[in-house]
Amino acid sequence: MALTVEERSFIYNQFLGSDKPSTIFRALFERKKQSHPHFSIAQLCKSCGIPSRGYLSEFLNGKRRLNSRYWKSFIKCFGLTGRLATAGLLVFEMDATEEPEERRVLQEKLDSLKRSFKKVEESFPSRLHGMVFAAEVYCAFGLYGNNPTKEQLKGYFGRDRALDVEYALACLLGIEVVGLNTETQRYFIRENTIRFTDSDDSGMTMNNFHHYAVQDAERAFKKWYSSQDAYFETMMISVKKSRLPEFIEKVKDHSILSAQEVESTEADMLIRFNVQIYPLH
């Protein structure tokens, strides 16, 4: 059964607050007990194939590690799928390893997932009103190892947009998502994501960004619909309404994980990745 929005939000916050599997899953266990009075350690042991209640209690209390043979079934018992299941495995793997380099790699993967869990709270300030192009400039940093010069960015976007690049960089510096090394005159990333929110002020909201993306997709379709570097798909399907939230969450998880897997600081191309799912009536 798919998690509710409230349940998913609670789980996101546990991963954002700790990297310790015992702490995270203790919180999930206590919450599930509140909503399901008959849920118990004995029931959890039976569902996961764990032979000892004492062993599981010690794990939940942070006194011992959970054997890797139980990780996947344990995660499944709490309804974690997609990004959340991946995050669950990562915290278990981090807890189990003593090797610094392996732990560093796992931490990077987990941090990447955590960024997708954060609430959409920040808004672009008013100086970015109508300046969706700033987000494109920000993403283009990955074409130059996240360390571009102004000239490189102007060269990529074209001299006819040189002033737009200047303004975009000034805005990004102003909200401190990028910085400038005054010695090398190269820009660098301060924040790995730019988040938006709908608001009543004059800042750029997620609504603005989506509107721009849909308009841009219409333009791009005419140019790229038959290219091997693009993929356009649309279909109409009949579904049971009760299953739609689960389907949307599955697509969302798959989209975010796939995008994080392919994203690179050694990129040689920018792409726009749109997903559209909505009722026809």
Q: With 0-12 CB in 10 A as exposed, 13-18 as middle and 19+ as buried, what is 248?
A: middle
pLDDT at 11 (0 to 100): 92
Q: Give the range with max mean pLDDT: 113-117, 128-132, 168-172.
A: 168-172
For residue 121, name the pLDDT band (cuts at 50, 70, 90). Answer: very low
**Topology adopted by domain 5-117:** 434 Repressor (Amino-terminal Domain) (1.10.260)
**Residue 120 scores a pLDDT above 90:** no
Whole-number Å distance between alpha carbons of 83 and 27: 18
Which tens digit of pLDDT belongs to each residue from 182-223? 999 999 988 776 665 544 444 556 666 777 788 888 888 888
Which one, of 82, 38, 88, lies nearest residue 68 by Cα? Answer: 88
pLDDT in tens, 25-38: 999 999 988 888 88
Average pLDDT value for residue range 225-250: 87
Percentage of residues of the chain with pLDDT beyond 70: 88
Q: Is pLDDT of 122 > 50?
A: no
Q: Is the pLDDT of residue 96 over 90?
A: yes
Mean pLDDT over 253-276 rounds to 85
Burial class (CB in 10 A: 0-12, 13-18, 19+), 231: exposed
pLDDT at residue 259, as a whole number: 84
d(CA 147, CA 58): 47
Cβ atoms of 202 and 131 closer than 8 Å = no
What one-character DSSP code corresponds to residue 4?
P
Highest mean pLDDT among 118-122, 130-134, 166-170: 166-170
CA torsion sign for 196, 199, 204, 208 is: positive
Q: What confidence score (pLDDT) does residue 198 get? A: 46
- The pTM of the whole model exceeds 0.85: no
